[in-house]
Structure 1
Amino acid sequence: MVVDYLSLRVNCRRFRPHIYMVIVQMASAFLYFITEAAFNHGMNPHVYVTYRHLVGGIAVFPFAYFLERKTRPKMTLSMFIEIFIYSLLGVGLTINMYFASLKYTSPAFLSATVNTIPTLTFILAVVFRLETLNLRKRRGLAKATGTLITLAGVMTIALYRGPAIKRLWEPLIHLMKSDFHKNWIKGPILSLASCISWSIWFTMQGFTLKRYPAPLSLATWANFIGAAQSAAFTSLAVRHHPDAWVQKSFINIATILFGGVVSSALNFIMIVWSSKEKGPVFVTMFCPLQTLLVVIFAYFIVGEKLYTGSIVGGVTIIIGLYLLLWGKAKDRVVIITSEKKPSLSAIKQNEPKMQIVTVIERESLNQ
């Protein structure tokens, strides 16, 4: 009975990061459409980023202050500089370029280019030895193959349309569309630059969490510092339009609150926690799911056309994501052993103990 209970706990903990990342991608996919609607209502992307992360910092601060007051490391100058760079890569620089590119492109295009992040992060993680890659073993081959297949699916969605699927009913929501701001040179450049910066941020996260192992406090610092960095940049970008800071539209205010509380607070915490548990590559390899969700939302809810290229690319992405998950699942092996502890209770003497050993550690112990 005790072993079964421990096995259940192991399975729950094993799949918790998976559930978290699915929630993150669903929230991010929904955020594409409400932010595009807010931008079409005149909200400046840089003002949005500033307000969003200010709200996110306020939302996380109480939890970080009370829950991590005993475990939070002391802040030093070197640690503050590292978190400042961490915030710049994760918020101040990346998010500003990310949403600026949405203003010049479309949700479907941006969600497709975001899927270059797993490949870039995987390469950086291997270079900095945060991820192992042994092509002689099935798990290493699965991770490499899954990455390439996922990238192929993304490229299919981005470059191939094919015939449009006939619509069977009217969309539930009609978002105001405008094409005057589309710029297919500036937009892709900003999108690609944000993906590169984001990949560096995900890789840096592994090192920062080791030096500052307090996810809630780290999320609070990153939100507040990122908001300050974005405010400094935004003050230059809208210096001739001070009224850009004033938001009166309901969709604009709702987008800021949703983006701050859900994306910059809850999603940020789940990403940091999952990265701490599973590594940066695990977090980024759920990005393809976001592309698939955007395509589904765009067709069934918003009313955008669905092309056969998107269907083929979506199926390809799912296959690649499955291979990546299978390869990563083999990185941790759960071993349940029985160890006797001196105790007055005979039950406690034979209480099974759970030990989690990584594949690398197991191989080193066998040598």
Structure 2
Amino acid sequence: MALKASSFSGIYTKFKPHLLMFLAQMGYTFLYFITEASFNHGMNPHVYITYRHIVSTILMFPFAYFLERKIRPKLTFALFWELSLLSFLGVSSTLNMYFASMRYTSPTFVASVVNTVAAVTFVIAVVIRLETLDLRSARGMAKILGTMVSLAGVTTMTLYKGTTLENSWHLLIHFQRNNTIHEHWLKGSILTVASSITFSLWFIMQAITLKRYPAPLSLTTWMSLLGAAQSAVFTVIIQHKPAAWSIGFNIDFWSTVYGGVVISGLVVFIQLWCTEKKGPVFVTMFNPLTTILVAVLAYFVLGEKLYLGSVIGAVTVIVGLYLLLWGKEADQEVDNKAEKQSCSTCSDEENGHKTNTENHSS
């Protein structure tokens, strides 16, 4: 019985980052729909981002303050500017472009394009040597092939429609859309691509900052606080109507609370933890799951059209994701073996040194 418990504990420990990232993608999936409903209701996306990160700051501060008192590094001037840049990349620039693009396109389109983040992050990580790539090994080829296959799947979902799949389901939610907003498709597409690039840079910088500031709860809190301040300044500059800042106890309120508590709080903390354990490429590899979940929910719950190209693309993305995950896991096993071998060699050398010292003494 104890052996079974130990075996289950080992499996859970091994796949804990995978499970957490799957739950994070579930969180992002619901975010697409609740924010679109809020924006269609009249909520300003930039005001939403500001309020959302204020909520996140209030939520995360007590946990960060009390739980990381002993491990939180001293905040220097240089570190503060680094945290400010991290907040600018992850909150001010990325999210403002991201949610503005959702107003001009659709949740399914935005979720599809954002999947390029995994490929862009992988390329940047390899260039700056955060990610190892051995083209002579099967694991290296699997990571390259997995990235290309996933990107091909995303491209298929984005560019190829094919025949429409009939929906005979009774709609669970009748979703009112503001079609006049979605007419600016080109503008929305440009904003989506730009936000994907800054999103990739944010994940890369997280991995770098965590080495100097290994306190994920505190880092999450700082990003929320600084991001809220930066977004507030940006919103005041472009939004001159005071009425835009007032929200009622309706979908606007609940979307703000959900975004602050679940996404900017819990999900960002999960991503930081997984980045520290597995690296930024591992975290971004799970983005395609959101695309699939958004497409499925939009089809069965909201009655959006689902095209054959989306199905083919989704299957292709899953195959690519599996290859990339296999390559990453194989890399980690090789690194673990090398580390054990290194420790064993060091131990043998120490024992040999002690033996020689004892012989010399005698």
Q: CA deviation at 1:180?
A: 0.8
- 1:279 to 2:257 alignment: no
Aligned to 2:224: 223
Q: CA deviation at 1:11?
A: 2.0
> Runs ≥4 in structure 1, deviation > 6 angstroms?
1-4, 362-367
- Distance across 2 between alignment mates of 1:68 and 1:144: 38
Q: What's the secondary structure of 1:302's corresponding residue?
A: coil
Aligned to 1:358: 336
Q: How does 1:220-299 map to 2 (within 5 A)?
A: 220-239=221-240, 241-248=241-248, 250-299=250-299
- Distance across 2 between alignment mates of 1:165 and 1:152: 21
- Distance across 2 between alignment mates of 1:317 and 1:44: 33
Q: Any gaps of 5 or more consecutive residues in structure 1?
A: 335-356
Cα distance per residue 1:88-109 (max 9 Å; x no partner)? 1011111111101101110010
Q: Any gaps of 5 or more consecutive residues in structure 2?
A: 346-362
1:331·1:359 contact (CA, 8 Å) conserved in 2? no
- Distance across 1 between alignment mates of 2:237 and 2:208: 32
- Distance across 2 between alignment mates of 1:116 and 1:331: 22
Cα distance per residue 1:289-326 (max 9 Å; x no partner)? 01000000100111111111111111111101111111
- Distance across 2 between alignment mates of 1:225 and 1:303: 39
- What is the one-letter code of the residue matched to 1:90? G
Q: CA deviation at 1:8?
A: 3.8
- What is the one-letter code of the residue matched to 1:72? R
Cα distance per residue 1:233-271 (max 9 Å; x no partner)? 0001112x1100000151000000001000010001100
- What is the one-letter code of the residue matched to 2:218? S
Aligned to 1:186: 187
Q: How does 1:273-352 map to 2 (within 5 A)?
A: 273-333=273-333
Q: What's the secondary structure of 1:332's corresponding residue?
A: helix
Q: How does 1:12-27 map to 2 (within 5 A)?
A: 12-27=12-27
User: TM-score, with normalisation over the residues of structure 2?
Assistant: 0.91
- What is the one-letter code of the residue matched to 1:283? V
Aligned to 2:356: none
Q: What's the secondary structure of 2:185's corresponding residue?
A: coil
User: TM-score, with normalisation over the residues of structure 1?
Assistant: 0.90
Q: What's the secondary structure of 2:333's corresponding residue?
A: strand
Aligned to 2:353: none
Aligned to 1:340: none
- What is the one-letter code of the residue matched to 2:301? I
- What is the one-letter code of the residue matched to 1:209? L
- Distance across 2 between alignment mates of 1:197 and 1:364: 38
Q: CA deviation at 1:57?
A: 1.2
Q: CA deviation at 1:2?
A: 7.6
Aligned to 1:349: none
- 1:53 to 2:31 alignment: no
Q: CA deviation at 1:6?
A: 5.2
1:92·1:229 contact (CA, 8 Å) conserved in 2? yes
- Distance across 1 between alignment mates of 2:133 and 2:337: 12
- What is the one-letter code of the residue matched to 1:280? P
Q: CA deviation at 1:59?
A: 0.9
Task: Give the aligned length.
Answer: 344
Q: How does 1:68-87 map to 2 (within 5 A)?
A: 68-87=68-87
Q: What's the secondary structure of 1:220's corresponding residue?
A: helix
Q: How does 1:195-234 map to 2 (within 5 A)?
A: 195-234=196-235
Cα distance per residue 1:265-285 (max 9 Å; x no partner)? 000110000000000000000
Aligned to 2:359: none
Cα distance per residue 1:8-64 (max 9 Å; x no partner)? 433212111111111111110111011111101110000000001110111111111
Q: CA deviation at 1:135?
A: 1.4
- What is the one-letter code of the residue matched to 1:58? I
After superposition, the CA RMSD in angstroms is 1.8
Q: CA deviation at 1:178?
A: 1.6
- Distance across 1 between alignment mates of 2:106 and 2:121: 24
Q: CA separation of 1:59/1:10 partners in 2, compared to 1, >3 Å: closer, same or farther?
A: same
Between the two proteins, what is the percent identity of the paired residues? Answer: 53
- Distance across 2 between alignment mates of 1:7 and 1:133: 31
- What is the one-letter code of the residue matched to 2:67? L
- What is the one-letter code of the residue matched to 1:106? S
Q: What's the secondary structure of 2:248's corresponding residue?
A: coil
